[in-house]
Each structure stands twice: as C-alpha cells, then as structure tokens.
Amino acid sequence: MRRFAFSKISSLFFILPLTALANNDACDSPGEPSALGQSIANAALKEYREFSGHRIDAEGRLVKFGSVESEAEPLIESTPGMTPPDRFAWRRVWEYWRTLEKHASDQSGELKISYLPGLLDDRRSAGRPREAELRQLLSGLDALAAGPMGAAAREAAVRTALNDTPWSAAFISYVMHQSGMPDAAFRYSATHADYIKRAFDAPEGYAYRACDPYRTRPRGGDLLCYARGSQPLRGFDAWRKAARAPGFITPAHCDLVIHVDQAARKADVVGGNVLQSITLRRLKLNDALALSRSHAAPAKAEKEPACTGLSACPRQNFNSQHWGVLLQLVR
C-alpha cells in the first residue's frame, strides 16, 4: 500500500514539470504569424492612425503628442481626403464600449462618473469621491431634459464617463471584434486580467496561451502585458501563481503587437488609454528576439525629485513597466 502511494505521488511530481516544459516548448516554437494575427495587427494600426494618437520611442520618450480621449475637436485625417466615420476621439472610445457590450452585456455598468458633492460651489469641499453609473445618469437625463439642452447634457455625461473610466481593455475588445474573434476564443471584458487569466487556464479553443515575455518572441497579433498598481505582480511566475486563485483580479495593461523588425530587434505595439490616447510604442528586443529586460521596471522605484516650478524634471521612461505576460496567438 505504501509503495503504491509513493508511486502515485512520485508520478504526479514527474508529470507536473513535463506539463510546464511542454507549455514552454509551445511558447518557444510558435511558428509563423497567422492570417488572424495579421488581421488583429492591421485593425489595431488602423485605429491608431485614425485616432491620431501618441507615439513613444524605444527609449521610452514621448515623441508625438496626439489626440486624447475626451477632445471635442475633429480628428486630423490620417490619410488626406479620407474622413474617418467617427471624427471625434471621444466618440471612437464610446464605440469601443458599445462594441464590448455586444459580447459582454454585463460590462455596461463599468462606465461611471466620479464626482464630489458640493465641489462645484465650494472648492474647499472635502470628502470621498462618489461614483454614478453612466447608464443610470443617462436615464435620468432623458426624463429631465429634451431638445438641444438634453442632447448637450447627454454628450457631456458620456465624455465625462469616458474620461473617468479606464478603457484600455475595451479597446482590446474592439480590435478583437473588428478581427472577427468569436466569444469562445477570447474573453471580452473591460478588465485585462479576465482575458489574461483565461489564457493561463488554457481552455480548449481559446485563441491565446500565456508565455514569459522575456523568453518568447512576439509576433503580430500577440499581446504584451504588464502589471500596475501599488503592489504589481512581478514576473511571469508571479502571474502564473496568482492566476490560479479563484476570483483572480489585478490591475494590468496590455498592448497589441503590430510589427516586429527582426533586423533592428524592435517591436511596435499599440495600446489604448496610454496617456489618455491610443499610443504606438517601440520596444527593444534581446538577441533571442524576445522582450529586452532593459524595459523592466526596477524592483523598488527610486524616489525622484518633484517636478514643480522651474526645477529640473527627470526624464520619464514610459516603456519601463512590470512586463510579465506575453499572450501568444495560437490560432
């Protein structure tokens, strides 16, 4: 009996490393970029161009300041003579949310407006900010105001909610929708952690597998993700362990890989709600053509001098993040 028990236990410990190795092998040998991957990359690049967003170079410097999420001015035409269907940045972001609701109707309550009672009348008002769901506010405005004033109030409410609510995951969902990604293959959500966890769970038919970004070559259509917040997950192993927990949730952000220049060892990625815009950033790759560790945020952030008044401001590296997961397209 003891011998049988020991045999079972030893077999279990033998199988687990083999499973991990098999996953690593799959990540290390992804094959050529697929037609779906190219479609995803093209959709992300098209949206970036029509949004006329920001640009960050390989050193993490903001080299182009583009349109931002709540602007009321018409977007600049990315192609002369070609006016995009949504001519305003805020209206495009609104469309990301409307598209997300087609796949996940429970996400409609995610759009909220933050407010502090009394602040309009008294700038010294203190207290905890409150939130109101946009759908409830719009319903109330419909009942209170009609005509031009009602339309103005509705637009103002929507633009405020788009400004107050993180929309980067809604952007990813929009791009997946534009590429024809079915619900069974991608977890449409307003939260990045939802579709990242699904990749770790690896259900049959899911379009992505979770890989280590510092050892896996990115391809068009893949996603590069980093942790955010005051206690970010640090590294792929931390993500893999945390994602096993029931109800897993953590602040995160993902960018879509749109192009890899192997000769230059660079990758271009596009993400939404980066500095309140759609932003294209260039990332360095290492000799193995995986993400360079030069982009890894330090384990402990150094305290920088305040950038106020006429004092010198330290240069900020917008590519220095807690990169921890590459979602590799497997379709």
Task: Concatenate the DSSP letters of all residues of 192-261 into one string.
Answer: HHHHHHHHHH--TT-SEEEE-TTTS---TT-EEEEE-SSS---SHHHHHHHTTSTT----EEEEEEEEEE
| DSSP code, position 280 | E
Quickly state the pLDDT bin for 1 (edges 50, 70, 90).
very low
d(CA 154, CA 1): 72
Whether 18 shows a pLDDT value over 60: the answer reads: no
Q: Once rounded to an integer, what is the mean pLDDT over residues 19-23? A: 49
pLDDT tier at 4, thresholds 50, 70, 90: very low
The pLDDT, as a whole number, for residue 223 is 99
C-alpha to C-alpha distance for 216 and 116, rounded to whole angstroms: 46
Question: What are the residue boundaries of the structural domains of the chain, listed by start?
Answer: 32-103+167-302+314-329, 112-164
More confident residue, 145 or 203: 203
Of residues 268 and 139, which shows the higher confidence score? 268
| Amino acid, single-letter form, for residue 35 | A
Mean of per-residue pLDDT scores for the chain: 88
10 vs 136 pLDDT, higher one: 136
For the chain, the first-to-last Cα distance in angstroms comes to 46
- Residue 224's pLDDT is 99
> Average pLDDT for residues 199-206, to the nearest whole number?
96
